[in-house]
Structure 1
Amino acid sequence: MGGREECVYRSKLAEQAERYDDMVVWMQRVAEGDYEMTVEERNLLSVAYKNVIGTKRASWRIITGIEQKEIEKKSECGKQLGYIVDYRKKIEGELKSTCNKVLGVLKAILDKQQDSSIAGESKVFYYKMQGDYHRYLAEFAKGNERQEVAENSLASYKKAEEFAKALTSTHPIRLGLALNFSVFYFEILNSAELACTVAKSAFDDAIQELDSLNEESYKDSTLIMQLLRDNLTLWTADMPNQEDQEQRTDDADEPQEES
């Protein structure tokens, strides 16, 4: 078993053991190689980082909810709020570190592809992933930093969108891009209208080509289409109150994104 094959095997082993930090280590070694990653390898890379960042994002949401409730209580015990704020900042530091590591890996991969005739599908995958991790940074960044990462996320999603035009409207990667891009518009740019436009366009285009779906991608494509429809239902219900969108409560439903 060669070095590359060993890394992939160890990554799969780590995935089965649900040790995603270890999985990241092995897949990062594969990503740093001087060769194009296979579909399986790039999916393993995405799964590894998605699970690591997913846990941290969930922790951040919980702790910010606790912080907000403590602020609303207007408690005289400032120490408790201080502990919560410190803990939130610690989680944000971990989020930032993880996102920047992923973005560094993606930049290296995309730089290697600049002069290659690599398939558009692969470029959509990586630019979409780049947009996702800039979006995760935007979720907690403030001021100018938030504006910068939001702009980077938008640019990456738009780049992915350009290459996605070469894919069929029912392609899971194209649908996944539309799903996460629409979440970006809703969550980061606070625009239910743009979010609905992206999601509805992708859903409607895919519906027209549903009969041409091959058996291999049918399950993935229809699942993402369902998530698009779920979000459209949620967002269109919110649109009459769009001016209050930035004031959403902690109990508001979260939009679905690609896992």
Structure 2
Amino acid sequence: MGEREELVYKSKLAEQAERYEDMVKFMKTVAYMDPLMSIEERNLFSVAYKNVIGAKRASWRILQGNEGSDKNDKNEKNEKVQEKKCKAIYQNKVEGELKHICHEVLDILTTILGKEDSNASESKVFYYKIQGDYYRYLAEFTKGNERQQVAEKSLVAYKSASECAKVLVATHPIKLGLALNFSVFYFEILQSVERACEVAKEAFDEAIQQLDDLSDDRYKDSTLIMQLLRDNLTLWTTDMPNQEEQEGQRVEDLEGDHEES
């Protein structure tokens, strides 16, 4: 067993044991090797980092939403101030970990896309999509100019992926996954409900028209993502009595938005 094969095997073992930090280490090494990753390897790479970043995103959201109890008297107010400082320090720690992981993935993707065959549309869609995802993750918690910059980079990456995806059939899981995550980007980051719905609906409608031609090996993955697209469309197009209620609902709905893993 060569070094590459051993790393892939260890990565599979780590996935089974749910030791995703180890899985990341193994697949990071593979990602920098020549030749470029196979379909199996790039899926392992994606799963490893998605599980690690997913846990930290969940932690950040809990901290972001945990405001603590109200304090009334002077001593309690002082205690409240200390609690806020303590929480801010801890939240900054989590954000630092998130940034580290995102930039690590983005550096790897820059290297891979620099080597990628210009004719390899499927793999380029895959990598540009992940690039868009990780810039989106950065945009979730950054602020000001930094948030604007990473949001713009996420948009560029998703658009590059969409351009490459034109040659793929509408039911291709990678193309559907791209549409799903791109629409979530429009909804969550740019807060453009209309554009989010347009992207999701177009992908869903085109896939429905080609559903009869879907091969058996892709049927499960493709139809699952189509269901997630439809779920989001239902969620986003629900009529709201007024704008204030819509804004309130949007905050609650973010946790419910579905994206491809």
Q: How far has the Cα of 1:237 moved from its partner?
A: 1.2
Residue 256 of structure 2: SS of its match in structure 1?
coil
Residue 34 of structure 1: SS of its match in structure 2?
coil
Alpha-carbon spacing, 1:119–1:243, altered in 2? closer, same or farther (3 Å)? farther
C-alpha separation between the residues in 1 aligned to 2:241 and 2:159?
28
Q: Which amino acid in the other structure matches residue 55 of structure 1?
A: A
Alpha-carbon spacing, 1:98–1:241, altered in 2? closer, same or farther (3 Å)? farther
1:48 paired with 2:48, answer: yes
Q: How far has the Cα of 1:254 moved from its partner?
A: 2.5
Which residue in 2 is equivalent to 1:131? Answer: 132
Alpha-carbon spacing, 1:57–1:258, altered in 2? closer, same or farther (3 Å)? same
C-alpha separation between the residues in 1 aligned to 2:52 and 2:184?
20
Q: Which amino acid in the other structure matches residue 98 of structure 1?
A: I
Runs of 4+ in 1 over 3 A off after TM superposition: 238-253
Which residue in 1 is equivalent to 2:231? Answer: 230
Q: How far has the Cα of 1:221 moved from its partner?
A: 0.1
C-alpha separation between the residues in 2 aligned to 1:35 and 1:216?
26
Residue 141 of structure 2: SS of its match in structure 1?
coil
Q: How far has the Cα of 1:37 moved from its partner?
A: 1.0
Q: How far has the Cα of 1:195 moved from its partner?
A: 0.3
C-alpha separation between the residues in 2 aligned to 1:194 and 1:159?
17
Query: 249, 255, 258: which is aligned to 1:256?
Result: 258
User: What is the alpha-carbon root mean square deviation over aligned residues?
Assistant: 1.7
* Superposition pairs of residues 36-185 of structure 1, within 5 angstroms: 36-67=36-67, 73=70, 76=77, 77-113=80-116, 116-185=117-186
C-alpha separation between the residues in 1 aligned to 2:43 and 2:4?
15
C-alpha separation between the residues in 2 aligned to 1:19 and 1:96?
21
Q: How far has the Cα of 1:118 moved from its partner?
A: 4.5
* Superposition pairs of residues 234-249 of structure 1, within 5 angstroms: 234-237=235-238, 248=249
C-alpha separation between the residues in 2 aligned to 1:215 and 1:227?
19
1:3 paired with 2:3, answer: yes
Q: Which amino acid in the other structure matches residue 90 of structure 2?
A: Y
Equivalences, count: 254
TM-score, normalized by length of structure 1?
Answer: 0.93
Q: Which amino acid in the other structure matches residue 108 of structure 1?
A: T
C-alpha separation between the residues in 2 aligned to 1:157 and 1:240?
33
Alpha-carbon spacing, 1:183–1:240, altered in 2? closer, same or farther (3 Å)? farther
Cα deviation, 1:155-186, whole Å, max 9, x if unaligned, reads: 00000000100000000000000000000000
Q: Which amino acid in the other structure matches residue 110 of structure 1?
A: L
Gaps of 5+ in 1: none
Alpha-carbon spacing, 1:171–1:251, altered in 2? closer, same or farther (3 Å)? same
Aligned sequence identity (%): 65
Q: Is contact 1:192-1:242 (8 Å) kept? A: no
Cα deviation, 1:198-239, whole Å, max 9, x if unaligned, reads: 000000000000000000000000000000000000000167
Q: Is contact 1:193-1:239 (8 Å) kept? A: no
Structure with higher Rg: it is 2
Q: Is contact 1:161-1:177 (8 Å) kept? A: yes
Cα deviation, 1:127-177, whole Å, max 9, x if unaligned, reads: 000000000000000000000000000000000000100000000000000
